[in-house]
Amino acid sequence: MGEYLEVEELNDVLLYDGVCKFCNSSVSFVLEHEKNDQLKFTPLQSDLGVRILTHFGYPKDYTDGILFLSNGKLASKSRAALYISKFLKRPWSWLQVFWIVPLFISDFVYNIIARNRYKWFGMTDACMLPPRNHKERFLE
C-alpha cells in the first residue's frame, strides 16, 4: 500500500503463511465467502507481518498458523479461525458453534493440520499475488 501502518491502528487483519499453499487457498476461500469485504490480509513474512509479530512478542519467523488481529488483540490458531468464521456467509459462519470446544482440543486438531500442511499441500516459492478485485485489502 505504500503507507506506513501502525500496529495499534490495525483491525480485522488475517495474517497467514504466504508460502503455504493451504494457507493461500484458505485466504482465497475467505475472500470468496466473506460477507462484507471488511477483512484485511498480510503474510506473516511481510514487513508488516513481522512488525505485528514483534509487537505481540512472537518470533519474527513464526509460521505455526494463522493469526487474527482485532481490537488490539492477536488470536492464534483455532481461535483465529473461529474469529474469522464470523465474517463469512452462511453456512460457513455456523462454524462459530465450535467456540464451545475447549481450546486444548481445538488447538490440538489445528496443530496436526498446521504441522503437516507443507507435506500435504505443498509450498510456493513466493507469497501469492492479491486478486485484482481485492488488491486494496492486502496490506503488504
Q: Tens digit of pLDDT for each residue in 90-129?
A: 887 788 787 888 989 988 987 787 887 777 767 676 665 6
Q: 48-70: per-residue pLDDT in tens?
A: 999 999 999 999 999 888 999 99
75 near 68, Cβ under 8 Å? yes
**Average pLDDT value over all residues in the chain:** 84
With respect to residue 75, please indicate whether it lies within any of the assigned structural domains.
yes
Domain for residue 1, yes or no? no
Report the pLDDT value the prediction gives residue 86, as an integer from 0 to 100.
92
In total, how many domains does the chain have?
1
Tell me if 2 is assigned to some domain.
Answer: no
Q: Is residue 120 part of a domain?
A: yes
The whole domain housing 124 covers: 7-137
pTM for this structure? Answer: 0.81
Confidence of residue 3 (pLDDT cuts 50, 70, 90): low
78 contacts 103 by C-beta, under 8 angstroms: yes
Q: Is residue 24 part of a domain?
A: yes
Let me know: does 10 contact 52? Beta carbons within 8 Å. yes
Answer yes or no: is pLDDT of 39 > 60.
yes
